[in-house]
């Protein structure tokens, strides 16, 4: 189901973990309110009631917050709801601003105030982080348009919920030159959200963020996600067997929907693949020098061209007398064609000759030559990551504060041309999760190792 409304919190959730967003916002699975969230909601409500009715709050936390908040006035906007268009045909952007002072004393610009409850003021965002966030940028865009102001003051009133509550306001001024680019990046995420919701995928095909499972008290969908760790786009091939060549001629969306026809989301795909596996007593496949070179390149992490040259040289040269000790790498690679020494990384085999665009091999390699370009993931990602670092004036995108580099990298990957050929992707590594969340929906098909 394609979302009709999106918000800053949805974009933040999607950028953090696409699978969690899909479960919560598309499948509408309930997300229980934590104790900390319940306390924060109560403080918000007390402040809202004070500004609307004049009734003084009961909690010490809300009383402390009022000491740094504006005095009651009829011009203030309290819990102000708003809607904005995103792009033509796209969902509506919606939000609720805690407090707006549209007409502060001259020459101050309109002020947008957001109450933030926390267990520790050490987690309070800096002015720079406030500007980089999509929430306050979207608020600033809306208020700037409503009050014809190119400059907006954004303010966090951080409230520490403890026995002795503490309050720390943090404010800064943001201009349209700062919040409009962040708004555009938010729209990139909205496009991706709409694409993912429209694909109607099986859960195991949606990229999770396993590093986020324990954050903020733990994800409520952990148990559901754990069940998908054994799921994959393809199945493992038993020893001495290969998959028949006519297995996959489907688009990714067709394969995902095919998987949903099974009882557990993968049985239909598994059944189709299982019927196209050669019997165990069939003779083993003979790999070409190019295929062995691709395997050795992945294992050795050496450039593909160098590995190809070594394989061709080894094929043309007569094999020298065997010596004692460990065999050379080239000879060891050739011996992997024997049934007893099957390459361990080839856990799934899917035809790639029929694909016209991108094929992803995650943690495995194609065992039959496709005649198509082989792309090493690291070589493809390196110039994109370097450009992000250059644009943000940092040495490495991974050094950006609070994980902002991952979001910047994801935006750059989404804007980059889709690579054409067979891409060999490691199971883990820098940029892998960010890239796969974008590349998988665009690929003709995906092969994923179960090992």
Give the residues across from 358 on adjacent strands: 421
**What is the predicted pLDDT for the residue at 356?**
52
Report, as ranges of residue numbers, the positions in the chain whose pLDDT lies below 70. Answer: 1, 229-356, 367-371, 402-403, 450-451
Q: Which residue intervals of the chain bear CATH 3.90.320.10?
A: 34-182
**What is the predicted pLDDT for the residue at 310?**
57
For 97, phi then psi, to 5°, come to -95, 130
- Which H/E stretch holds residue 81? strand 77-85
Instruction: Kindly tell me the sign of the dihedral angle through the C-alpha atoms of 264, 269, 272, 273.
Output: negative
Choosing among 3.90.320.10, 2.40.110.10, 2.40.50.1020, 3.40.462.40, the CATH entry for 34-182 is: 3.90.320.10
Q: Which two tokens stand for residue 375?
A: 């792309």
Q: How far apart are CA 311 and CA 293, in angstroms?
A: 6
**What is the predicted pLDDT for the residue at 304?**
47
**194 CB-near residues (< 8 Å, 6+ apart):** 2, 3, 90, 91
> pLDDT tens for residues 90-110?
999 999 999 999 988 878 899
0.75 cut: is pTM over it? no
Mean pLDDT taken over the chain: 76
Contact 5, 207 (CB under 8 A): no
**What is the predicted pLDDT for the residue at 151?**
95
Q: How far apart are CA 300 and CA 317, in angstroms?
A: 22
> pLDDT tens for residues 119-147?
889 889 999 999 999 999 999 999 999 99
**What is the predicted pLDDT for the residue at 170?**
95
> pLDDT tens for residues 360-406?
888 877 766 666 788 888 889 989 988 988 888 888 887 777 667 88
For 37, phi then psi, to 5°, come to -65, -40
Query: Helices (H), strands (E): how many in the chain?
Result: 16, 10
User: Which of 399, 73, 36 minimizes the C-alpha distance to 217?
Assistant: 36
């Amino acid at each position: 189901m394609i979302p009709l409304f999106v918000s800053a919190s949805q974009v933040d959730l999607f950028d953090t973990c696409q699978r969690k967003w899909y479960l919560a916002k598309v499948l509408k699975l309930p997300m229980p309110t934590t104790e900390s969230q319940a306390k924060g909601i109560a403080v918000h409500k007390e402040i809202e009631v004070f500004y609307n009715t004049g009734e003084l709050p009961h909690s010490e936390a809300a009383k402390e917050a009022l000491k740094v908040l504006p005095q009651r006035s009829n011009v203030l906007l309290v819990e102000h709801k708003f809607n904005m268009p995103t792009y033509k045909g796209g969902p509506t952007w919606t939000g609720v601003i805690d407090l707006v002072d549209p007409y502060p004393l001259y020459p101050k610009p309109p002020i947008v105030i957001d109450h933030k409850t926390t267990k520790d003021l050490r987690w309070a965002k800096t002015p720079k982080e406030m500007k980089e966030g999509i929430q306050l940028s979207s608020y600033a865009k809306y208020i700037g348009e409503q009050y014809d102001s190119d400059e907006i003051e954004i303010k966090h009133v951080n409230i520490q919920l403890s026995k002795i509550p503490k309050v720390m306001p943090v404010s800064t001024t943001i201009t349209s030159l700062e919040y409009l680019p962040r708004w555009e990046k938010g729209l990139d995420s909205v496009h991706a959200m709409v694409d993912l919701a429209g694909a109607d995928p099986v859960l195991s095909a949606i990229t999770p963020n396993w590093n986020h499972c324990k954050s903020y008290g733990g994800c409520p969908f952990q148990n559901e996600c754990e069940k998908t760790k054994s799921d994959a786009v393809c199945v493992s091939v038993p020893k001495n067997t290969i998959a028949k060549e006519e297995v996959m001629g489907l688009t990714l969306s067709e394969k995902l929907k095919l998987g949903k026809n099974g009882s557990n989301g993968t049985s239909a795909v598994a059944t189709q693949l299982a019927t196209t596996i050669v019997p165990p007593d069939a003779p083993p496949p003979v790999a070409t020098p190019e295929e062995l070179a691709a395997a050795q390149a992945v294992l050795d992490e050496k450039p593909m061209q160098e590995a190809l040259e070594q394989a061709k040289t080894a094929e043309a040269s007569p094999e020298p007398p065997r010596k004692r000790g460990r065999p050379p790498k080239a000879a060891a690679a050739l011996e992997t064609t024997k049934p007893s020494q099957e390459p361990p990384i080839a856990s799934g085999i899917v035809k790639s000759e029929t694909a016209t665009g991108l094929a992803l091999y995650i943690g495995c390699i194609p065992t039959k030559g496709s005649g198509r370009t082989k792309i090493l993931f690291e070589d493809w990602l390196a110039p994109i990551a370097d450009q992000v670092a250059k644009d943000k004036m940092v040495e490495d995108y991974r050094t950006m504060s609070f994980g902002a580099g991952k979001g910047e990298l994801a935006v750059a990957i989404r804007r980059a041309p889709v690579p054409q050929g067979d891409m060999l992707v490691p199971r883990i590594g820098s940029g892998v999760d960010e890239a796969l969340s974008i590349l998988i929906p665009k690929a003709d098909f995906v092969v994923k190792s179960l090992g």
